[in-house]
Amino acid sequence: MRMDQIGNFIKTADTLNITKAADEMYITQSVLSKQIAGMERELGAVLFDRNSSGIRLTPAGLVAYEMLSKTLRSYEDAIHHIREYQAHIEGTLRFAKLSGLKRPCALVDALDDFSRFYPAIIVLQKNQDNSAMARSLREGKYDIYLTWKHEVDNSAEIECIPLVKYRVCLAISAAHPLAGLQNPPIEMFRGMSWITVVEEESYSFNRFIASVIRNAGFEPSLIYADNFADMLDLIHDEAGVGIVSEGHSIHGTSSIQFFDFPEIPSWTMSIVHRKDNKNPLTKDFLSTLLKRVTETTS
């Protein structure tokens, strides 16, 4: 038996009018009737006498009304006190995001929920490049991090929570002659320079882009950018071709043409945190986030 069913039963008992009760609870009469019938099946008792003149509570219905009214009041009191308690909790949740990444819907909703549950909590959000994020993760500078799963070192000290998978696309300047082609094979880009980042910024990305090119049957000619923002600028300036995920905020930019290659593995955007994190708010936020992730994937 759900609390909304109990509330709708109490409203029906107060009004003794299905139509009026349904209107006041913003549901249809059929939904309300089904809920009451479900309660009667669960309790094994008829709660209302129904006749041409209307409805009235049965003796069992009177007992249910008295007991469930107390249950509903206790539930509403608990919600009030819990929210009042949370409204006075103070603290800071430190959140770092890899520069350029979109925030997936589950994360946006979880941050909104968390701010509503804990209005006095300050959420500090910081964009970082990959190398800075790796350092701050090792040092525990932030509570949670949004990054790619493949950028996180396997470690017993780190927990990685997958959020969503994004396709990976080949990116080229929209002004380049090849940009006008329809679904060109990856071999068409054999003679071009491929833009990546220095190993200090992302060793895993270097390995990834090299494997994609070699799997296509040719050796890469690489240009190294200091970071991903510079890599995207070089793509825009026609210095070469690169690889960009749909989870990057630049995806869909009209100045860059994107080609989808199914043979390129997708990337998983993830929330990462240190298991030894001492901020009690981290656990609460992760619980809120996991609930939203479950709703998104169900």
pLDDT tens digits for the chain (298 residues)? Answer: 899 999 999 999 999 999 999 999 999 999 999 999 999 999 999 999 988 888 999 999 999 999 999 999 999 888 877 776 766 678 899 999 988 888 999 999 999 999 888 888 888 999 988 888 888 988 889 999 999 998 887 788 899 999 999 998 889 999 988 888 888 888 888 888 999 988 888 888 888 888 888 888 888 789 999 888 888 889 989 999 998 888 888 776 788 888 888 888 899 999 999 999 999 899 999 999 999 988 877 6
What would the CATH number be for the domain defined by 168-265? 3.40.190.10
For β-strands 121-128 and 91-98, DSSP reports them as parallel
pTM for this entry: 0.67
Distance of CA 245 to the CA centre of its chain: 17
Domain boundaries, the chain: 3-87, 91-163+269-297, 168-265
CATH of 3-87, one of 3.30.470.10, 3.40.50.300, 3.40.190.10, 1.10.10.10: 1.10.10.10
Residues with Cβ within 8 Å of 95's Cβ and at least 6 positions away in sequence, in order, are 111, 123, 124, 125, 126, 142, 143, 144, 145, 146
Answer whether 5's CB lies under 8 Å from 39's CB: yes
Topology match between the domains 91-163+269-297 and 168-265: yes
Cα(245)–Cα(267) distance, integer angstroms: 7
Domain 91-163+269-297 - what CATH class? alpha beta
